[in-house]
Amino acid sequence: MLERSIENVVIGSGAAGLATALRLWNLGEQDTALVTENMLAGTSRNTGSDKQTYYKLSLAGGDPDSIAAMAEDLFAGGAVDGDTALCEAALSARGFYNLVELGVPFPCNEYSEYMGYKTDHDRGRRATSAGPYTSRLMTEALERAVRGTGVAILDGLQAIRLLCTDGAVRGVLCMDRSAAAEDGADRFILLWARNVVLATGGPAGMYRDSVYPQSQLGGSGMAFAAGAAGKNLTEWQFGMASVAPRWNVSGTYMQVLPRFYSTNQEGGDEREFLEEYFGDEGEMLSMIFLKGYQWPFDVKKIFGGSSVIDLLVYRETILRGRRVYLDFRKNPGDRPVPFDRLSEEAHTYLEKAGALFGTPIERLAHMNQPAIDFYADHHVDLCTQPLEIAICAQHNNGGIAADANWETCIRGLFAVGEVNGSHGVTRPGGSALNAGQVGAVRASQAIHLRRLWEEAEKVPGGGDGRDSFDGCDNCNAEVQAALRREAEEFAAMADRACGDRRPADLWQELTASMSAAGGMIRNREAIREALAQTETYLAQFTQTLRKPAPKELSLFFRLYDMLQCRRMYLYAMQEYAGSGAGSRGSALYTDPAGQMPGGGGDGAAEEGSLPEIFRCTLDDGAHSGVIQEVQCGPDGQPAAIWRPVRPIPQPDDFFENQWREYRRRNRI
pLDDT in tens, 550-606: 999 999 999 999 999 999 999 999 999 999 899 999 999 999 999 999 864 443 444
Last residue of a domain, one of 345, 373, 394: 394
Report strand pairing: 152-155 vs 32-36: parallel
The total number of residues written for the chain in this structure: 668
Q: What is the pLDDT of residue 181?
A: 60
Listed in sequence order, the residues at least 6 apart from 232 whose beta carbon sits closer than 8 Å to its beta carbon are 79, 397, 398, 399, 421, 423, 424, 425, 627, 628
Q: Identify the three-state secondary structure at position 299.
A: helix
Digit-coded pLDDT (tens) for 618-628:
998 999 999 99
pLDDT of residue 602: 40
In a domain, 382, yes or no: yes
| Residues 60-102: tens digit of each pLDDT | 999 899 999 999 999 999 999 999 999 999 999 999 999 999 9
Among 598, 618, 638, the domain-final residue is: 618
Alpha-carbon distance of 380 to 261, in angstroms, equals 18
Same domain for 501 and 368: no
- State whether 377 and 515 are in the same domain: no
Cα separations in angstroms, 553 against 221, 345, 489, 498, 607? 17, 54, 15, 14, 52
Residue 137 located in a structural domain: no
Residue 120: predicted pLDDT: 78
For 393-425, what is each residue's pLDDT tens digit?
A: 999 999 999 999 999 999 999 999 999 999 999
Query: 385 and 271 in one domain?
Result: yes
Mean pLDDT over the full length of the chain: 93
360 part of a folded domain: yes
Phi, psi of 326 (to 5 degrees): -100, 135
* Residue 433 pLDDT exceeds 60: yes
Indicate which CATH number applies to the domain containing 316.
3.90.700
Sign of the four-CA dihedral 420, 421, 423, 426: positive
- Confidence band of 464 (pLDDT split at 50, 70, 90): low
Contact call for residues 327 and 333 (beta carbons, < 8 A): no
What CA–CA distance (Å, rounded) separates 105 from 613?
A: 46
> Backbone dihedral region of 152: left (phi > 0), alpha (psi from -120 to 50 degrees) or beta?
beta
Domain boundary among 590, 618, 646: 618
Residue 582 lies in a domain: yes
Query: The whole model's pTM is what?
Result: 0.94
Domain count for the chain, please give it. Answer: 2
pLDDT score for 123:
84
For helices 553-577 and 524-539, the axis angle rounded to 10 degrees is 140
pLDDT at 219: 95
Domain residue limits at 331: 237-394
Give the percent of the chain with pLDDT over 70: 96
- What is the average per-residue pLDDT within 281-286? 97
Concatenated DSSP letters of 203-239 = -GGG-SSB-S-TT----HHHHHHHTPPEESTT-EEEE
Sheet of strand 2-5, all strands in order from the earlier edge strand to the far edge? 2-5, 188-192, 168-176, 157-165
Position 328 in a domain: yes
Instruction: Give the CATH number of the domain where residue 559 resides.
Output: 1.20.58.100
Residue at 249 is within a domain: yes
State the pLDDT at residue 521: 97
Question: How far is residue 406 from each of residues 411, 430, 647, measured CA to CA in Å?
Answer: 11, 19, 16
pLDDT value, residue 601: 42
Inside any domain, residue 272 = yes
Q: Which runs of E-coded beta strand occur in 550-623?
A: 588-595, 616
Question: For the chain, what percentages of helix, strand and coil (3-state, to nearest 5) are there?
Answer: 40, 20, 40
Q: Give me Rg for the CA atoms of the chain.
A: 25
| 562 within a domain of the structure (yes/no) | yes
In angstroms, the CA 98 to CA 19 distance is 10
113-139 tens-digit pLDDT: 999 988 878 888 999 999 889 999 999
